[in-house]
Homo-oligomer: A and B are copies of this chain.
């Protein structure tokens, strides 16, 4: 069940969305499509297989996709170790392009591949093994940085959730969506560590059911009080006073503070506003895309109709009926109470200030 042993997983849990083998020749990826029924790891020894797995949603969640892509680059570097500097560069660019093409919305994917290509640029003339090691080292660094960022977000976000009786989350922004610990679920974990009476509502998140299958699985494993509701029930729960705060993750945050996240997030933000409930977004700084001015510039991935028309082998929508299947939506900054990153909690319009925090030596201004 734990193929990375005897090495410890970087996730810090007894499970991990994605890990690299000690010799950097294999990527272990938890097949999240099988959860909660089965906990099975795929063993991938080729960057193209990693790309396929990302596209097929074996792994999902913007930060985890970024880490998986970095590990894919490590495999590509290992495979190309004997090539000339020029051919090495070329092979790495091909691998990177293939990985980036798998999912268009999550910015962490392009960010992680870009960081790997920077190291390719500076190390291509080095000895083959050294070049491959440099990429593997960077990929592991991206992974452990992400876990550390989640822990910091948890600390910052838990302050904001003080006194909240029940919190709603959407999709899965947990350990399974990140290097470990989680963004939105990291905040919830940290808040629950302070107040064990915290109740958590997980929206089931159609069509892929990440809330029902993954968030419930993670939180139940931690022994937390989690209740699954359908996406259509959250307004009713808010109306009845069952929910005092919302925390979700993000796939891309524009300079304006607009946030792309799993489809259904925008609906919850509208409903939170209408019920005067704070709406928080938690995401690592790598999700902030200052090159994208606002939400309208974010490409929204449309996925195959079969995700709606079928459930397993069973057809639930009659043939000949149209289906619209956008995987993400955009929540405008004005509906967001705060964006929680490892660099601090920002009013959404001020999110770009996080760049200064980094330039100034990583100083954080926690809200």
CA A316 to CA B215, docked complex, whole Å: 11
Majority secondary structure of chain A interface residues (helix, strand, loop or mixed) = mixed
Of the candidates B220, B314, B316, B324, the one whose C-beta lies within 8 Å of that of A320 is B220
Give chain A interface residues in 202-255, CB to chain B under 8 Å.
Answer: 203-207, 209, 212-213, 216-217, 219-220, 225-237, 239
- Taking the closest CB of chain B, its distance from the CB of A288, in whole angstroms, is 22
Quick one: closest B residue to A211, CB to CB? B317
Contact, CB under 8 Å: B216 / A318: yes
Report B-chain residues with C-beta under 8 Å of the C-beta of A216: 317-318, 321
Report B-chain residues with C-beta under 8 Å of the C-beta of A209: 316
A54-62, A175-183, A263-271, A346-354: which lies at the B interface?
A263-271
* CB of A14 closer than 8 Å to a CB of B: no
Residues of B within 8 A of A232 (CB): 203, 205-206, 231, 263-264, 267
Say whether A359 faces chain B, with CB atoms less than 8 Å apart. no
Counting contact residues on chain A (CB < 8 A from B), the size range is 35 or more
A97 at the interface (CB under 8 A from B): no
A225 to B316, CA, bound (A): 18
On whether the beta carbons of B322 and A226 are closer than 8 Å, the reply is yes
- Report the separation of the CA atoms of residues A227 and B312 in the bound assembly, to the nearest whole angstrom: 21
Task: Quote the shortest CB–CB distance from A41 to chain B (angstroms).
Answer: 18
Q: What sequence of 0s and 1s flags, for each residue 281-295 of chain A, a beta carbon within 8 Å of any chain B beta carbon?
A: 000000000000000
The reply to whether B317 and A263 contact each other, CB–CB distance below 8 Å, is no
Of B231, B236, B271, B318, which is within 8 A of A206 by CB?
B231
**A residues bordering B, Cβ < 8 Å?**
36-37, 201, 203-207, 209, 212-213, 216-217, 219-220, 225-237, 239, 263-264, 266-267, 270-271, 273-274, 308-309, 311-312, 314-318, 320-324, 326, 329-330
Residues of B within 8 A of A228 (CB): 308-309, 317, 321-324
Q: Which residues from B are CB-within-8-Å of A329?
A: 233, 235-236, 239
Q: A36-B317, A236-B326 are in contact. List 17 more A-B contacts (CB 8 A).
A: A36-B316, A206-B231, A209-B316, A213-B317, A213-B318, A217-B318, A228-B309, A228-B321, A228-B322, A229-B324, A230-B231, A230-B263, A232-B264, A236-B267, A267-B267, A274-B274, A311-B312
